[in-house]
Amino acid sequence: MRRLNRKKTLNLMKELDAFPKVPESYVETSASGGTVSLIAFTTIAFLTVMEFMVYRDTWMKYEYEVDKDFTSKLRINIDITVAMRCQYVGADVLDLAETMVASADGLIYEPVIFDLTPQQKELQRMLQLIQSRLQEEHSLQDVIFKSAFKSASTALPPREDNSLQSPDACRIHGHLYVNKVAGNFHITVGKAIPHPRGHAHLAALVSHESYNFSHRIDHLSFGELIPGIINPLDGTEKIASDHNQMFQYFITVVPTKLHTYKISAETHQFSVTERERVINHAAGSHGVSGIFMKYDISSLMVTVTEEHMPFWQFLVRLCGIIGGIFSTTGILHGFGRFVAEIIFCRFRLGSHRSTSVPLPDGHTSNHLPLSTDNSTH
């Protein structure tokens, strides 16, 4: 009884077989089929390797939403070198929301030499080259995001030449916490003096001949400081052509949440537009000599997430490659054989029509005899 049930089950499973096996005696192989099979297997192997490389790679997904955080503070990371002595310059932030000077106690004024050493110049030249490539290839920013905390720091190395030259510049570096509204960070002549209606700089004791706002921006970023991230103004160097010159940077800051397989941080991206002009009141060019960075906060927030292809999707794509190539090559092979048979049949038919048979009365016939008999009568 068990054998009978088992036999019925096996017969039922055989009837449900969607992949029937053809006996080998019924299979006909050909050289063209073997060639097409070899091409198909080679293509499958190549595409499988390429698909595996795509599976191993990751990409960045960008999502946009309205930034609803208005209460938190905005951190500004600064590392700027100005070609003037530290006692002649002052840096502070003017908060446009409260029209008051934000505290600049987090900044350090360090006397340095403005000219770089050969090692520092090489690093700055490499950083400027990366900046130029980033402006041409925006997709490189994804590579920088994925390599954050893995890349080397973009800060200039300390001087190692032990130069006896006296410091002729001032390095202003550190960080500030300001309100998350538009503002103006500026470096100009004289130290800032608190004022009920704003602020002022004590510049009367500094002669105009000593004005020199040639500067180098080694680093400027907003939000959490992330090593390896290259910002648009990193490596910028400007040389003043006149004593009374104004450098302006108009910055739009975009809050950014970065989530990769290595880090998860809240930072800020920004775009910048640069302007510079010589202050000449007689010619109608009014203003104050110095370096002005006017920033505005975008109302949109960007969430950048590193994503990876799921394994099931990789299997589906792999099955599609294998099945698609087998089906396509089979169709192309069948179509090729069909075309070849038509061409060869016409060729044979034409050769048969051109064959002539002599008749006893001296005439010729182009028709083939129905049968050929080699026997002698």
DSSP E strands, the chain? 58-66, 73-82, 89-95, 100-102, 107-112, 169-179, 183-189, 191-195, 198-202, 215-223, 236-238, 245-259, 264-278, 290-297, 300-308, 357-358, 364-365
The reported pLDDT for the residue numbered 41 is 87
The reported pLDDT for the residue numbered 35 is 81
313 is in which domain, residue-wise? 32-61+308-329
Residue where a domain stops, chosen among 226, 244, 262? 244
DSSP letter at 272 equals: E
* CA–CA distance, 146 with 290 (Å, rounded to integer): 37
Write out the H or E segment, with its range, that includes residue 353. helix 311-353
* CA–CA distance, 234 with 77 (Å, rounded to integer): 11
Query: Residues 5-17: what's their mean pLDDT?
Result: 71
Average pLDDT, the chain: 78
Is residue 26, in this structure, part of any structural domain at all? no
**pLDDT tens digits, one per residue of 97-140:** 665 555 566 788 989 888 888 888 888 888 888 878 777 766 66
Token pair listed for 155: 């800060």
Q: Is the pLDDT of residue 154 over 70?
A: no
Q: Are residues 325 and 233 in the same domain?
A: no
Q: How confident is the model at residue 81 (pLDDT cuts 50, 70, 90)?
A: very high
Would you say 288 and 248 are in contact if contact means Cβ atoms under 8 Å apart?
A: no
Residue where a domain stops, chosen among 244, 260, 289? 244
Q: Are residues 100 and 225 in the same domain?
A: yes
Is residue 210, in this structure, part of any structural domain at all? yes
Q: Are residues 52 and 146 in the same domain?
A: no
Q: Are residues 57 and 152 in the same domain?
A: no
Q: Are residues 37 and 96 in the same domain?
A: no
Q: Is the pLDDT of residue 328 over 50?
A: yes
Q: Lowest-confidence range among 24-28, 86-90, 292-296, 358-362?
A: 358-362
What separation in angstroms does the CA of 371 have from each of 240, 282, 358, 374? 105, 116, 15, 10
Q: Are residues 102 and 171 in the same domain?
A: yes
Residue with tokens 């396509």, as numbered in its chain: 328
Q: How confident is the model at residue 363 (pLDDT cuts 50, 70, 90)?
A: low
Write out the H or E segment, with its range, that includes residue 352. helix 311-353
Q: Are residues 121 and 47 in the same domain?
A: no
Would you say 212 and 243 are in contact if contact means Cβ atoms under 8 Å apart?
A: yes
Is residue 230, in this structure, part of any structural domain at all? yes
Q: Is the pLDDT of residue 249 over 80?
A: yes
Q: What is the DSSP string of 105-135?
A: TTEEEEEE-SSPPHHHHHHHHHHHHHHHHHH
Q: Are residues 80 and 43 in the same domain?
A: no
Q: How confident is the model at residue 291 (pLDDT cuts 50, 70, 90)?
A: very high
What separation in angstroms does the CA of 364 have from each of 28, 348, 352, 361? 42, 21, 15, 9
The reported pLDDT for the residue numbered 370 is 47
DSSP letter at 257 equals: E
* CA–CA distance, 368 with 321 (Å, rounded to integer): 52
Greater confidence (77 vs 333) lies with 77
- State how many domains the chain has: 2
